[in-house]
Amino acid sequence: MKLSNYNIIVLLLFTLLIILIYRRITIEKFEEKKTPILAIHSVFILPENFVFLEEWITYHMELGFSQFYLYDNYGSIGRDGSSLNKTRAGIEFLKLFNYDIYKEFDKLKHKYPQIHYIKWQPKDENGDITYKPGNAIAHYRDNYSKFSDWSVFIDPDEFIVLDDTNSTNLIDFLKKKEHEGYSKIVMQQKKFQDRFCKIQENIFDIDDIVININVDGWAYKCLYKNSALHPTEDDFFMHDIKMNSGNTYVCDLKELRFNHYNVNNTQINWMKGFLNKDSFEHGKDESMKKFNYLLKKYKIPNHIYNIKYLNTLKPNLCYSF
> Residue 99 has what pLDDT?
92
Are 259 and 159 a contacting pair, CB within 8 Å?
Answer: yes
Q: Is the model's pLDDT at 82 over the cut of 60?
A: no
Instruction: Tell me the sheet residues that pair with 115.
Output: 68
Predicted structure pTM score? 0.86
* CA-to-CA dists, residue 207 to 61, 111, 156, 260, 280, angstroms: 22, 29, 17, 11, 16
Confidence (pLDDT) at 83: 47
26: confidence class by pLDDT, cuts 50, 70, 90: very low
Domains and CATH numbers, the chain: 37-317 (3.90.550)
- Compute the distance between CA of residue 271 and CA of residue 260 in angstroms, rounded to an integer: 14
Task: Name the percent of the chain lying above pLDDT 70.
Answer: 87
How many Cβ atoms are within 10 Å of 76's Cβ, its own excluded? 22
Residue in 73, 227, 221 with CA at minimum distance from that of residue 147: 227
Q: H or E stretch including 186?
A: strand 182-193
Per residue in 271-295, pLDDT (tens digit) is 999 999 999 999 999 999 999 999 9
- The answer to whether the beta carbons of residues 98 and 307 sit under 8 Å apart is no
Give 145-186 pLDDT, tens digit per residue. 999 999 999 999 999 999 854 445 899 999 999 999 999 999
